[in-house]
Structures are given as C-alpha cells and as structure tokens.
Amino acid sequence: MAVKIRLQRHGSKKRPFYFIVAANSTSPRDGKFIEKLGTYNPLTVPATVRINREAALEWLNKGAQPTNTVRRILSFKGVLYMKHLMRGVALGLFNETEAKEKFEKWNGEHEQLVVKREEANRKHKADKRHATAQESVRRVEEKSAAKAAAKAEAEAATAATEDAPAAEGEAPTEEA
C-alpha cells in the first residue's frame, strides 16, 4: 500500500481549511485516511500550520511520500531537516543528542526569523494605514481650501460687479 502525506480539504466554499493526513494514495482527496497529522489554514496571515512532528517523521521514515505542498510545509516546520539529521545518526556521523541540539538551534533561528517577518508585516500594514489616513486628510484639506478660494473669488467678483454698475451709474450723471 503506497502511503501519501497530503492535504484534505475542509471548510466552506472559498474558505479552505486543510487537515494534513497520511492516506492511501488511491483513496479520494477528502476521503478515508490512516492518520491525521496536523492542520493548515491558508487564510490567516501568515498561514497557520499545526503539525505533530514525531508522527510525520515516523510516516516519512516508513516511506510515505508527501505531496509538493505538504513537502513545503514539512520543510518549513523542520520535519524534513529532522529526517536528514536522523539519517546522519543512522550512518554514525554523530549521535542523537547532537542531532537534537542541531535541530533546536535551527528551530530557534527559524522561529526568530518567523517573528521578525510577522513584525515587519504588522509594521508595513500600520505604515500603509497611516499613509492612507494622511492622504485622505490631505485630500479633505485640499478640497476645503479649494472651496474657500472659490468662495472668496466669487465674493470678490460679486463685490466688483456691484461696485462697477454703481460707478457706471454715477459716471453718466457727472457727465450730464
């Protein structure tokens, strides 16, 4: 029986939510599975992934083949790196405690990178919101200034037209 580690779609229309499962390769996408390994929610920013690393590693060691998307998820979560380290232990290149230390070091650096990306994303969104607010305030000020200038110009024009007929009316009387 060929086993695949793949995504099983749940959620509603246009709101996907996935289970990461180990399933027989011939079973339908959303059908029967052997074991649920985790969840994946692509709608959150950044995407939320919860996975049982030990179970996923066990299935990979048994020969389960991940799909492309699941391979990226497993790589992001460090399951494939752990498999790589365990192969080094099996070959006798280093012992299991060194492998765990290497994995913990990698995991710490990876978590810092993820936190840094999230903070940069939050900062970018806040800056964008601030810039949009400033732009809208600037537009409102420009409109109010344009209205005030138009009103002042109109008042000046009406004052000039009121003074002009009076001057014209006085001028003929002086001539007469």
43-94 confidence digits (pLDDT tens)? 988 899 999 999 999 999 999 999 999 999 999 999 999 999 999 999 999 8
Residue carrying the six token digits 């001539």 = 175
**Mean pLDDT value across residues 94-121:** 93
The pLDDT of residue 53: 94
Extract the tokens encoding 11. 């959620």
The pLDDT of residue 157: 82
Report the C-alpha gap between 57 and 34 in whole angstroms.
Answer: 15
Pairing of strands 35-41, 3-12: unpaired
**Mean pLDDT value across residues 137-141:** 89
Q: How far apart are the first and last CA of the chain?
A: 119
**Using 50, 70 and 90 to split pLDDT, how confident is the model at 11?**
very high
**Using 50, 70 and 90 to split pLDDT, how confident is the model at 165?**
low
Q: Is the pLDDT of residue 176 over 60?
A: no
The pLDDT of residue 166: 53
The beta-strand segments (E) located in the chain are 3-12, 15-24, 35-41, 48-51, 65-66
Rg of the chain (C-alpha set):
35
Report the C-alpha gap between 142 and 146 in whole angstroms.
Answer: 6
Judged by average pLDDT, the poorest of 54-68, 103-117, 134-148 is 134-148
**Using 50, 70 and 90 to split pLDDT, how confident is the model at 153?**
confident
Report the C-alpha gap between 10 and 41 in whole angstroms.
Answer: 10
Count the alpha carbons within 13 Å of 173 in the hemisphere toward its beta carbon.
Answer: 6
